Amino acid sequence: MNDMNITSAQYVAHPIENRNMSIKATIDGVEMYVPINDAANKESAEIMRQVAAGTLTIADAD
C-alpha cells in the first residue's frame, strides 16, 4: 500500500548539459527533487508507477 499523494511533477534541466537531471514533484504537500526513473528510490518509483497508470504526467523542464 502506498500512501503518497503526488500533485505535480516536472523535469528539472541540468544547468550546463542538455538533459534533465531530476524530477521536481509535490509529494504529500512537500516539494521534493527525486531521481529520474529509479526503482530503488520510493518516491521515484511511485512517480513512474503513476505515470504508467496514466494518473500523473511529468511536465517538461522550464
Kindly list the residues in this chain that would bind another protein in the complex (CB under 8 A). Answer: 1, 3, 12, 14-16, 20-22, 24, 28, 30-35, 38, 40-44
Nearest residue (CB) to another protein, 16 versus 53 = 16
Residue 27: CB minimum distance to another protein, A:
8
- Measured CA to CA in angstroms, residue 46 lies from 16, 37, 50 at distances of 28, 9, 6
Nearest residue (CB) to another protein, 29 versus 53 = 29
Question: DSSP label at 55?
Answer: S
Pull the grid cell for residue 35. 531521481
